[in-house]
Structure 1
Amino acid sequence: MSRIRLKNIRIFTNHGCLSEEEKIGSDYLVNLSVDADLSEAARTDQLKDTVDYVHLNRIVKEQMAQRSKLLEHVGQRIIDAVFEEVAVVNSVEVTVSKVNPPIGGDVAEVSVTMSSSR
């Protein structure tokens, strides 16, 4: 089993429970890891035999563009979309972080990490 990771995908969007968050938006960081058997790709050197990280990045951007109140909800949508669109993936771990959250304190970010396997 092998792992492909996309680290710190930076996205500006409008998730959150507060109406201000919907209107103003904020920065988010997404980290995505997928596990898959990449032995065929290692042998053939062909993109069709691996997990295309451009495709993974597109999934993250598409799901982050759909408003959610909770980071858990958008995280699960990312997991579901990866499983739906990339058959070779066996497991997914995603961390969605809200940078400078409006929680009344000096907090760099809040994060939710979720994982799932087929």
Structure 2
Amino acid sequence: MGIIRVENIRAYSYHGCLEEEAKIGSDYRVDIEVKADLTKSCASDKLADTVDYVHVNLIVKEEMAIRSELLEHVAKRIQDRILKEIPIVKRVKTAVSKINPPIGGDVEQVTIVLNKRRK
């Protein structure tokens, strides 16, 4: 088994419960960690035998473009697609952060983290 991380994927999106968030939007950061059997790709040196992080990045960008009220909902959609579209992935950890959230305080970011295993 091995781990592949795609870190600090940046997106500008319109998630949140407030009406202003739907209109103005804000900056987000997404970090993905997948666990997969990388034995074959270590030997073959072929992209087809591993987790294509370009594909992971595309999934994140597409799902971040779909508005949700909750970051948990976005993270779950990202995880579901990764597990559906990339069969080699056995586990995925997803962290979605809202940068400078509108919560009435000096807060750098709010992050939710979800873990999901293939059944």
**1:70-109 equivalences in 2 (<5 Å):** 70-109=70-109
In the aligned structure 1, how far is the partner of 2:48 from the partner of 2:6?
19
Structure 1 runs, 4 residues or longer, greater than 4 Å off = none
TM-score normalized by structure 2?
0.98
Deviation sequence 1:28-55 (CA, Å, 0-9, x none): 0000000000110000000000000000
* Alpha-carbon offset, residue 89 of structure 1: 0.3
- 2:104 partner amino acid: G
Partner residue, 1:48: 48
Q: How many pairs does the alignment contain?
A: 118
- 2:37 partner amino acid: D
Structure 1 vs Structure 2 CA RMSD: 0.4
In the aligned structure 1, how far is the partner of 2:51 from the partner of 2:43?
14
Q: Which runs of 5+ in 1 are unaligned?
A: none
* Alpha-carbon offset, residue 114 of structure 1: 0.2
In the aligned structure 1, how far is the partner of 2:33 from the partner of 2:83?
12
In the aligned structure 1, how far is the partner of 2:44 from the partner of 2:8?
29
Partner residue, 2:111: 111
TM-score normalized by structure 1?
0.99
Three-state SS of the structure 1 residue aligned to 2:68 is coil
